């Protein structure tokens, strides 16, 4: 069974139609990189997967559960699909360690000690073992984003959604986040990544999707598409991001 399945999904904000009849199937283990001009619907597509945006038409199933199901089932989808935001969105009143322990404690109902132990291991995994007691405001952007990745992983998702995870970072901080994402992909995590990092798409992606005007315009192997794009719009887009 595929992990994510879009069936004729439409989504609009008022009169503006953002997703137009999107069909898309994502299998376990895929690293899908979503690119496209701003306003093409790539972030919205991502946010529909964990029901942060409600779809208007068609159906969308995540691990067999429809996003149109009940609230409690939507919470199950959200536990399956970890999300990393452009602006990190760490909880500012909690330390890095508490941020990571938060999900397991409040969602998976672990004890505080268990959750903290797990959080320490995850922080070590993203290279921040020594930053556990720092508050988000005391961390650099790259460190905050790595904490945010650990926070999402703590709930043990089957799938990770990244919404422009490096766009708010200085260039020299991006690679530390991308490296963590790469090692996650190498462990076999299913990932859907909205990004402008073409290098990441080529090196780590197993599939590249180019979106335009609410539709999937191109879908295929990253290296092949990046080296000789025959879609003129994709070609033009790549010239601007390179």
Binding interface with another protein (CB under 8 A) = 50, 52, 71, 75-76, 78-79, 81-83, 85, 87, 89-93, 102-103, 106-107, 137, 148, 151-152, 155
With contact defined as beta carbons under 8 Å apart, do 88 and 145 qualify?
Answer: yes
Q: Maximum CA pair distance of the chain?
A: 55
* 152 vs 229, beta carbon nearer another protein: 152
Taking the complex as a whole, how short is the minimal distance between the CB of residue 75 and another protein, in angstroms? Answer: 5
* 89 vs 213, beta carbon nearer another protein: 89
* 93 vs 228, beta carbon nearer another protein: 93
Q: Which residues pair with 59 in a beta bridge?
A: 7
Hey, is 119 helix, strand or coil? Answer: helix
The alpha helices in 50-204, defined as continuous H runs, are 71-80, 96-106, 112-125, 141-153, 171-186, 198-203
* 13 vs 91, beta carbon nearer another protein: 91
With contact defined as beta carbons under 8 Å apart, do 28 and 77 qualify?
Answer: no
Tokens linked to 193: 């990544």
CA separation for the pair 94, 187 (Å, rounded)? 29
Taking the complex as a whole, how short is the minimal distance between the CB of residue 108 and another protein, in angstroms? Answer: 9
* 116 vs 201, beta carbon nearer another protein: 116
Query: What is the dihedral angle through the alpha carbons of 166, 123, 132, 139, rounded to the nearest 10 degrees?
Result: -10
Taking the complex as a whole, how short is the minimal distance between the CB of residue 213 and another protein, in angstroms? Answer: 25
Q: Tokens 């070590």 label which residue?
A: 124
Taking the complex as a whole, how short is the minimal distance between the CB of residue 83 and another protein, in angstroms? Answer: 4
């Amino acid at each position: 069974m595929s992990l994510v399945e879009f069936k004729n999904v439409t989504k609009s904000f008022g009169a503006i139609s953002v997703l137009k009849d999107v069909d898309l199937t994502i299998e376990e283990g895929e690293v899908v990189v979503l690119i496209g001009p701003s306003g093409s619907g790539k972030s919205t597509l991502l946010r529909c997967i964990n029901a942060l945006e409600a779809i208007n038409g068609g159906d969308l199933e995540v691990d067999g559960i429809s996003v149109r199901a009940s609230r409690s089932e939507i919470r199950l989808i959200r536990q399956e699909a970890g999300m990393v935001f452009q602006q990190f969105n760490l909880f500012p009143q909690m330390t890095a360690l508490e941020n990571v322990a938060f999900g397991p404690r409040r969602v998976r109902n672990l004890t505080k000690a268990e959750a903290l132990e797990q959080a320490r291991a995850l922080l070590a995994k993203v290279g921040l073992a020594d930053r556990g007691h720092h508050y988000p405001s005391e961390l650099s952007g790259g460190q905050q984003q790595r904490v945010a990745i650990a926070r999402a992983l703590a709930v043990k998702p089957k799938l990770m959604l990244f919404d422009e995870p490096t766009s708010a970072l200085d260039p020299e901080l991006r690679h530390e986040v991308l490296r963590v994402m790469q090692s996650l992909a190498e462990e076999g995590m299913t990932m859907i990544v909205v990004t402008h990092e073409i290098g990441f798409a080529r090196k780590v992606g197993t599939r590249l999707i180019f979106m335009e005007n609410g539709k999937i315009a191109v879908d295929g192997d990253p290296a092949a598409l990046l080296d000789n794009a025959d879609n003129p719009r994709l070609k033009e887009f790549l010239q601007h991001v390179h």
